[in-house]
A and B are shown apart, each in its own frame.
Chain A
Amino acid sequence: MGRAGSTRRGCDPWAVVDAVVAVITGASVALLVWGLVAARTGRAPGRAMLLSGVAVQVVLLAQAVVAVVATVAGPGPEGSTVLFVSYLIAVVLVLPLALGWALVERDRWSSAVVAVGAFTVAAMVLRLWDVWRGGVQIGGPGG
Chain B
Amino acid sequence: MTGQDRARTHDATTHDKTTHYKTAHDATTRAATRSTRAGAGKVLVALYATFTVAATSRAGYQLVAKGDEAPLAYGLSAVAAVVYVFATVGLAVDRPWARRLAWAAVGTEAVGVLMVGTYSLVRPQDFPEATVWSDYGLGYLLIPLVLPFVGLWWLRRTRRRTAAQAREPRSSTGVDPREGR
Contacts and interface: CB of A to CB of B under 8 A. Distances in A.
Interface of A: 80, 82-83, 86, 90, 94, 97-98, 101, 105, 107, 109-110, 112-113, 116-117, 120, 137-141, 143
Contacts of B95: none
B17 interface: no
B39 A109 contact: yes
Interface residues of B, number: 21
B61 A98 contact: no
A94 B47 CA distance: 11
B23 to A, nearest CB: 19
B164 to A, nearest CB: 22
A86 B61 contact: yes
Contacts of A138: 58, 61-62, 129-130
Interface string B26-41: 0000000000000111
B84 to A, nearest CB: 14
B139 A139 contact: yes
Nearest to A112: B43
A50 B59 CA distance: 33
Given A80-B65, A82-B61, A120-B50, A105 B42 contact: yes
A60 to B, nearest CB: 16
Contacts of B140: 140
Contacts of A82: 61, 64-65
